[in-house]
Structure 1
Amino acid sequence: MAYRDGMFPPPPPIRPDKSLAAFFGLMRDKEDTSQVFKFSANIAGLSMLPAFKRWMASRNGEILTGEDPTYILRALDDRARLRELPVGTVGRTYAEFMDRENLRTDGVSEAYHADGLITEEFKAAYPEYAAFIWFQNLTHDMYHVLTGYNRDSLGEAALLNYTTRISGARGIRYLAALASFRIKSEAPEIPVFKIMTNARLMGERSADLIVTDFPALLDRPLREVREELNIVPDPVYAGLSQERLLSLVQPQAA
């Protein structure tokens, strides 16, 4: 389905004050995914329009807005099958990651909807854009698997910096920058800015995951898929102690 004017919703007014409030909320509780959505929504503007157009022109857009809207969800949610795949495949690695982190396949999207950012009225008015946002939320954890970034605060910030080079989302780019300064202030011994730079460069060199057929990757070796997508996990980040990383920016009482 080709992109047509009117599919992309008018962006809300840019409100840096609300974005900053969401940032500090996220720093209090890094598991509160809704704060990421609030931050981005109040500063994104039209920055994601190019990515939306690419997605609409791709097979992903065609399938998810028409013939099989649950195609990717069914593939990623079939944990029993994915656990039976050979060790080192994309699908087996994804299932192990999701099990280890106790994550639901559609958890990111559920958090987005729970915060009221996508209502039934919105989906009725802009079904293609709602499907695009769902696709991005649904594949977020697959990005973790492909890039090698874990769910610690620095890993999430680096993944955002990688992602923004693909999605173009201005809010995500600013959030990644603010998070990097926050983490550096807490852990000056960690090469935070080097890791963020490496994430940005990885995103610039990477294949366009907006148009990638994720279910088609699941049975294939992760090493082979990374090479094909030109994704090289950052050795600087990989060399850090996970124990130290998990101690960063711990949730605090509100």
Structure 2
Amino acid sequence: MTATTYEPPKMEFRKAWRALNALIADPEDTSQVFTIMRALTGKSFYKQYLKFRKNKMGAQVLEEKRNLIDTLVDREALKQYPEGTLGKAYIDFMIREGISAEGLAEISEDSYDEFEDKDMERYAFRTRDMHDLWHVVTGYGRDGLGEVCVVAFSYAQTKQLGFAAIALMGAYDFSRRFPGNRIFRAAWQAYRIGRKAEWFTGQDWEHLLTLPIEDVRKMLKVQTPDIYLEHDEVIANTRPEALAAAE
């Protein structure tokens, strides 16, 4: 499938619904996220790809045949970045959470098998690989509420319906589990932060890793997620280890 012959896939709402329920049952089953995204991608992926091609940095990435994962898997190099830089904050986050860029790539392997066009494939992989960078820059953690918020942010940035579905389903689930908290408000704020921020997909992440993280946030116009941050109890109780212990 090349860019000139690409036909947007049909929406598979039933498949997405099954995957959403599976994800709610096991929030650590990241493979369901990719199933949802693929089922609900529609025309949004191709529209974002064309936007990336027209973007100055996007065009440069494609011309230089850059692979973001090559930078993100080099942990020893990332550890050498000074304290306070995005690169150091990113590797500290990955080590603390016990996750890796290559792990995310392995989980999503079955979702990226239809691209004969190498530029489209490179774009798809790059958007996948920057997910945890978005966590670090936005300030949303890997707790359940943090994931809800980062996908709400991602929907604002990409208009991919799968992100909206995950955010709404997750917010509904957590609002039932933790009544009296401003779960939907936190997700709505994340969406608004995403609307106001610069377009993350078109950024030079390899360069941004070298900069102070606070400078990166200012450059990308990322506001503080204060509603999310006020939910200490929800954050603690929706951490991966807390959810696993509750099973």
2:59 to 48, 62, 81: 62
2:133 to 142, 162, 179: 142
In the alignment, is residue 108 of structure 1 matched against residue 104 of structure 2? Answer: yes
In the alignment, is residue 86 of structure 1 matched against residue 82 of structure 2? Answer: yes
In the alignment, is residue 128 of structure 1 matched against residue 82 of structure 2? Answer: no
Count the aligned residue pairs.
244
After superposition, the Cα gap between the structure-2 partners of 1:60 and 1:31, relative to the gap in structure 1 and judged at 3 Å, is farther
**2:236 match:** 243
After superposition, the Cα gap between the structure-2 partners of 1:90 and 1:225, relative to the gap in structure 1 and judged at 3 Å, is same
Supply the distance in 2 between the matched residues of 1:82 and 1:247 (Cα, whole angstroms): 25
**What is the DSSP-based 3-state SS (H/G/I as helix, E as strand, rest coil) of the residue aligned with 1:250?**
helix
Supply the distance in 1 between the matched residues of 2:228 and 2:241 (Cα, whole angstroms): 14
Q: Percent identity?
A: 24
Q: Cα deviation per residue 1:10-69 (whole Å; 9 max; x = unaligned)?
A: 233222111110011111211111111111221221123332111112345434434333
Supply the distance in 1 between the matched residues of 2:240 and 2:177 (Cα, whole angstroms): 10
**1:21 match:** 18
**What is the DSSP-based 3-state SS (H/G/I as helix, E as strand, rest coil) of the residue aligned with 2:44?**
coil
What amino acid sits opposite 1:37 in the alignment?
F
TM-score by length of 1: 0.87
Unmatched 5+ stretches in structure 1? none
What amino acid sits opposite 2:115 in the alignment?
K
TM-score by length of 2: 0.90
What's the offset of the Cα at 1:160? 0.4
In the alignment, is residue 95 of structure 1 matched against residue 91 of structure 2? Answer: yes
Supply the distance in 1 between the matched residues of 2:214 and 2:66 (Cα, whole angstroms): 29
Unmatched 5+ stretches in structure 2? none
Q: Cα deviation per residue 1:163-200 (whole Å; 9 max; x = unaligned)?
A: 11111101211221111111111111321011011101
What's the offset of the Cα at 1:253? 11
Do the aligned residues in 2 keep the contact of 1:153 with 1:248 (CA within 8 Å)? no
2:111 to 107, 112, 117: 117
**1:73 match:** 69
Supply the distance in 1 between the matched residues of 2:137 and 2:102 (Cα, whole angstroms): 18
In the alignment, is residue 189 of structure 1 matched against residue 180 of structure 2? Answer: yes
**1:157 match:** 148
Report 1 or 2 for greater relative contact order, CA contacts < 8 Å, sequence distance ≥ 6. Answer: 1
Do the aligned residues in 1 keep the contact of 2:236 with 2:242 (CA within 8 Å)? no
Supply the distance in 2 between the matched residues of 1:44 and 1:74 (Cα, whole angstroms): 26
In the alignment, is residue 176 of structure 1 matched against residue 167 of structure 2? Answer: yes
RMSD: 2.3
**2:8 match:** 11
**What is the DSSP-based 3-state SS (H/G/I as helix, E as strand, rest coil) of the residue aligned with 1:131?**
helix
